[in-house]
A and B are shown apart, each in its own frame.
With several copies, the nearest count.
Chain A
Amino acid sequence: MAYTEKDKVTQERLVSIAADWYGQMAGGQVPSITLPTRTKANIEYDAKTEVWKYGSKGTTRTANSAKSALHILKMAYVVGFLKQQLNESRSSTLREMYYISEGWKRAKFAAQDESNMLVEDLEIVTKLSREAFHLRPEEDGASIYGPLHLREQTKRGNRDIHCQENVGEAGYPIPSNVENIKFLDHDASFIIAMETGGMYARLMENGFDEEHNAILLHLKGQPARSTRRMLKRMNNELGIPVVIFTDGDPWSYRIFASIAYGSIKAAHMSDILVTPAARFIGVQPSDISDYNLPSDTLTEGDTAALKAILTDPRFDTEYWRHQIRLQLEIGLKSEQQAFASRGLDYVTKEYLPTRLSEMGIL
Chain B
Amino acid sequence: MAIAEKLASQQKSISVAEFFEKNKHLLGFDSPTRGIITTIKEAIDNSLDACEEAEVLPDIWVSITKLTKETIRIAVEDNGPGIVPDNVPYVFGKLLYGSRFHQIRQSRGQQGIGISAAVLFAQLTTGVPARVISRTGADKPAYLFDLMIRTEKNEPEIIRKEEYNWDRTHGTRIELEFTGSLAAKRRLIDYLKYTAVVNPHARIQADIDGEWHSFERVSDEIIVSPQAIAPHPYGIEFGTLKRMAAISKDNVHEFLITGFSRVGLKSADQMLKIAGIKGTRKAKGLSSEHLKTLLAAMQEVDVPPPPASLCLSPITEEMIVQGLEKEFELDFVKARTRKAQVFSGHPFIVEAAIGYGGKLDQEGQALLLRFANRVPLLYQQGACAVTNAIAGINWRSYNISQQSLPIGPILLLVHVASTNVPFTSESKDAIAAIPEIEKEITLALQDLGRELKNFINKRDRNKLAEDRARAVCSIIPDIATKVAEIVELPPPDISPIEGQIMRRVVAKKKTEDGMVGVSVTNYTRKPIEVMVYSLSEDNQEEAVPKPDFIDVIGSEFNAVWRITIEPESAWKATYPGKGRGTIDIRGVDEKMKVVVDLDGIY
Contact A80 B501 (CB under 8 A): no
Q: Restricting to B457-511, which residues have a CB under 8 Å from any CB of A?
A: 468, 471-472, 475-476, 478-480, 482-487, 489, 492-494, 496-497, 500-501, 506, 508
| Residues of B close to A141: CB separation below 8 A | none
For B, the interface residue count at a CB cutoff of 8 angstroms equals 27
Interface contact A22-B468, CB-CB below 8 Å: no
Per-residue interface assignment for chain B, residues 91 to 124, with 1 indicating a CB less than 8 Å from any chain A CB and 0 otherwise: 0000000000000000000000000000000000
Q: How far is the CB of A103 from chain B (nearest CB, A)?
A: 13
Bound-state Cα–Cα, A21 to B497, Å: 13
A53–B487 alpha-carbon span in the complex (Å): 31
User: Roughly how many angstroms separate A107 CA and B479 CA in the complex, as a whole number?
Assistant: 9
Q: Mark A5-24, 1 if CB is under 8 A from B, else 0.
A: 00000000001001101100
| Interface assignment of A119: CB less than 8 Å from any CB of chain B | no
Confirm or deny: B598 has a beta carbon within 8 angstroms of a beta carbon on chain A: yes
- Contact between chains at A30 and B501 (CB < 8 Å): yes
Set of chain B residues within 8 Å of A69, measured between Cβ atoms: 471-472, 475-476, 479
Choose one: B468, B471, B479, B492; the contact of A26 (CB below 8 Å).
B492
CA distance A312 to B485 in the complex (A): 43
By the criterion CB–CB under 8 Å, are B486 and A25 in contact?
no
User: B485, B493, B497, B601: which has the most chain A beta carbons within 10 Å?
Assistant: B497
Verify B484–A106 contact, CB threshold 8 A: no
From A70-78, A142-150, A222-230, A300-308, give the one contacting chain B. A70-78
Asked, given contacts A26-B492, A28-B596, whether A21 binds B483 with beta carbons under 8 Å apart, the answer is yes
Which of A15, A22, A66 lies in contact with B484, CB distance below 8 A? Answer: A22
Report yes or no: A72 in contact with B479, Cβ–Cβ below 8 A. Answer: yes
Give the A-B pair count, Cβ closer than 8 A: 77
A79 surroundings in chain B (CB, below 8 A): 486
On whether the beta carbons of A22 and B472 are closer than 8 Å, the reply is: no
Contact A106 B475 (CB under 8 A): yes
Partner of A15, one of B472, B486, B601: B486
Kindly state the separation between the CA atoms of A69 and B601 in the bound complex, as whole angstroms: 23
> Which residues of the partner chain A approach B485 to less than 8 Å between Cβ atoms?
80
Query: Is A31 close to B, CB under 8 A?
Result: yes
The answer to whether A63 touches B482 (Cβ under 8 A) is: no
Q: Chain B interface secondary structure, helix, strand, loop or mixed?
A: helix
- A66 contacts B482, C-beta separation under 8 Å: no
Q: Is A236 on the interface with B (CB-CB < 8 A)?
A: no
What 1/0 flags go to A57-88 for Cβ under 8 Å of B?
00000011110011011001101100100000
How far, in whole Å, are A77 and B482 apart by their CA atoms in the complex?
Answer: 7
Q: How far is the CA of A70 from the CA of B506 in the complex (A)?
A: 24
**In the complex, what distance in Å separates the CA atom of A79 from the CA atom of B482?**
10
Pick from B479, B480, B482, B496 the residue with the most CB of A within 10 Å: B479
Interface size on A, residues (CB 8 A): 27
Chain A residues positioned under 8 Å from B496 (CB to CB): 28
- Does chain B have a CB within 8 A of A29? yes
B486 touching A18, Cβ below 8 Å = yes
The residue among A30, A80, A83 with the most chain B CB atoms within 10 A of its own CB is A30
- The SS class assigned to the A binding surface is helix
Chain B residue nearest to A19 in the complex (CB): B487
Using Cβ atoms and an 8 Å threshold, which residues of chain B touch A106? 475, 478
Assembled-state Cα–Cα distance A70/B487 (Å): 19
Whether B472 pairs with A63 at a CB distance below 8 angstroms is yes
* Closest partner residue, chain A, to B486 (CB atom): A18
Q: Are B486 and A83 in contact (CB under 8 A)?
A: yes
Cβ-defined contact, B497 with A29, below 8 A: yes
- Residues of A with C-beta under 8 A to B501: 30, 64
- Given A30-B501, A66-B472, A66-B475, does the pair A25, B494 have CB atoms closer than 8 Å? yes
A328 CA / B496 CA spacing, docked (Å): 50
Report B-chain residues with C-beta under 8 Å of the C-beta of A19.
487
Q: What are the residues of chain A within 8 A of B468 when measuring CB–CB?
A: 65-66
A28 to B521, CA, bound (A): 11
Q: How far is the CA of A80 from the CA of B508 in the complex (A)?
A: 31
Contact A18 B487 (CB under 8 A): yes
User: Which residues of A sit under 8 angstroms from B478, Cβ to Cβ?
Assistant: 73, 105-107
Smallest CB-CB separation from A72: which chain B residue? B479
For the complex, give the distance between the alpha carbons of A92 and B592 in Å.
Answer: 47
Known: A18-B487, A25-B492, A28-B497. A73 touches B482 (CB 8 A): yes
B304-348 interface code vs A (CB 8 A; 1 in, 0 out)? 000000000000000000000000000000000000000000000
CB distance from A350 to the nearest CB of B (A): 28
B-side contacts of A77, CB under 8 Å: 482
- Which residues, 548 to 602 on B, are CB-close (under 8 Å) to A? 596, 598, 601
Tell whether, in the assembled complex, residue A25 and residue B497 are in contact, meaning their CB atoms are under 8 Å apart: yes
A98 to B359, CA, bound (A): 48
A72 and B475 CA atoms in complex are apart in Å by 10
B565 to chain A, nearest CB (A): 16
**Complex Cα–Cα for A70 and B474 (A):** 10
CA A298 to CA B533, docked complex, whole Å: 60
Q: Do B601 and A26 have beta carbons less than 8 Å apart? A: yes
Shortest CB distance A85–B (Å): 13
A18 CB to closest chain B CB (Å) equals: 4
Residue of B nearest to A25 (CB): B492
CB distance from B471 to the nearest CB of A (A): 4
Report the minimum CB–CB distance from B499 to chain A (whole Å). Answer: 9
Q: Are B492 and A80 in contact (CB under 8 A)?
A: no
**Other A-B pairs beyond A15-B487, A28-B500, 18, CB < 8 Å:** A18-B486, A18-B487, A21-B479, A22-B483, A22-B484, A22-B487, A25-B479, A25-B494, A26-B492, A26-B601, A28-B596, A29-B497, A30-B497, A31-B479, A64-B501, A69-B475, A76-B486, A80-B486
9 pairs, CB–CB < 8 Å, chain A vs chain B: A25-B494, A28-B596, A63-B475, A66-B468, A69-B472, A73-B478, A76-B479, A76-B483, A83-B486
Q: What residues make up the interface of B, taking CB atoms closer than 8 Å to A? A: 468, 471-472, 475-476, 478-480, 482-487, 489, 492-494, 496-497, 500-501, 506, 508, 596, 598, 601
| A-B residue pairs, 6 tightest by C-beta | A66-B471, A28-B496, A18-B486, A69-B475, A76-B482, A26-B492
Q: Which residues of A are interface residues toward B (Cβ below 8 A)?
A: 15, 18-19, 21-22, 25-26, 28-31, 63-66, 69-70, 72-73, 76-77, 79-80, 83, 105-107
